[in-house]
Chains A and B, each alone.
Chain A
Amino acid sequence: MVECKEAAGCCCGENVSEEELMLRLDECIAEYKDKPGGLIPALQTAQAIFGYLPEAVLLKISAGFDKSYSEVAGVVGFYSFFSTQPRGRNTVRVCLGTACYVRGGKQILESLKKELGVDVGETTEDREFTLEVARCFGACGLAPVITVNDEVHQRVKPSGLREILCQYKQQEAGEAAHAE
């Protein structure tokens, strides 16, 4: 599942108008509404379009699929992949699998919470970062590991976190961050 790519890849940042996004949503609904089990892929696509699943989008999907809003909400609430909160343009995941945990993953997470000022599952106010935890990326030999979007950072230390985060701010936020 390429969830992180879909979820974080194309939200905000791009200069796409709201109408354009809604048109894409209409296409997505038209594509899936008559397919059996089409609700979940439609929600995945919608989340990829908007970065998250705002109420207006869910209401539109509910109407388009002729399914009750409570059912759509039930599906969204069941899968942790779906988010009804705006997400950051970068997703930071801290591994808390066994190897990373014993090599300091927990301290990495605590430091990240402090550095970003958010709790797990939350997004920074400037919508730069969403913080999540994960259970093993299969890189135990490199523990402790964090990922930012699709990139793996190995043997991270609390003191090196700010530098890692800065790279992403710089990449996407442009000159303003660079000057800091």
Chain B
Amino acid sequence: MKKLTIAAALACAIAAAAPARAEITVCTWGTITGPDALVNGMTYGTRDYLEYLNQTQGGIAGNKLKVLMLDGRYKLDEELKIYRRCADQEQAVVINGWSTGASKALRDQIQEDGIPFISESFASEVLDPQKYPYTFIAGPTYEQQIIIALRDLAARGGKKVVLMYSDNEYGRGPVNVVRQSGVIEKLGLEVADLVEYRYDAQDVTAQMLRIKGKNPDLVYVQGSTPQLLVALRDAAKVGLPAKLFMGNLYNISPAIPEQLGAAADGFRAVQTYAFYGDDIPAMKEIEDYAKKNEVEKKDIYFIKGWLKGKVIAAAIGNAIKKNGGQVPADLKAFRKSVRDEMEALKDFDDGGITPPFTYADHQGSVQARIAEIKNGKYTPLGAWINAR
């Protein structure tokens, strides 16, 4: 009896909380609270762009958007639960998910449900337009970010590169893929050394001494920001300049110049989207949105979120246009049509966040610039480099 009462009480609480169905529902979940919340601007940006459409254009083709932003807390079970809520209860047309793990766990389910799904992951294993036609990502994979860095080195006339990476999947996986692809040799570069270190290492001085002996032109670090902080600190100790080091998109963090001060000057990272505050059309929209709303995350990750919002809106808009200006009555058909339109986006102009791209490959732009820390601020250098 007690069990029943509690279940009934919870059922009432949840049922009462279930909202009425809106016209077009888009779900986006991320780590609102949790270990990788530092980069959750990616989730806020998407929500804010779609809200911006609601406020300025009354949604898409006159249909209001209902945007749900949910907290997956970087927990697999939580993300799996949210997916079911979005797909089933909320009847979302498009879902924007978060982790690599959840994207992998859900990949068969997503195909079966036929829901266009944009993953926040940059891992190549969730990307396969043939096998997983409903799954998209938004930007260059980790491997491609490494290749962009190598191209930049080759263009500047460098030769010797050290690849440094943590001893987990995030570290090892992409480095192995790049090495086996033969791209390094094709660019006329040479791997001076491979340095693996523990993902939670607190001191890498020994590794830095080893790297110093190799006298490389570039040290590419495939690691998270805390790992970069340790690496750059110990590099300075043995007299290796930050200028020698390069990281990926996730190493564009104010923590690096803040904590290391002048020692971080010259550190470079692969910048796959425009910075918040850059002089681009998309930024004008954000400033417009910010007049009436508070923008909570003012960083490059928010810009990525804004980009995904634009992609989702364009695909939904085209699907409605194809259906004679009406929202398709059948949700399944609507989802399929949105997927098709997403894949069909050609020379898509995202307002300067990236160069125009085609989404047939399910990842969009695979270009990036190199950003360098100058006087404590990340500053883009030169033009966009294509990973392909």
State whether these chains interact. Answer: no
Residue positions of B touching A, CB distance < 8 A: none
Chain A residues near B (Cβ < 8 Å) = none
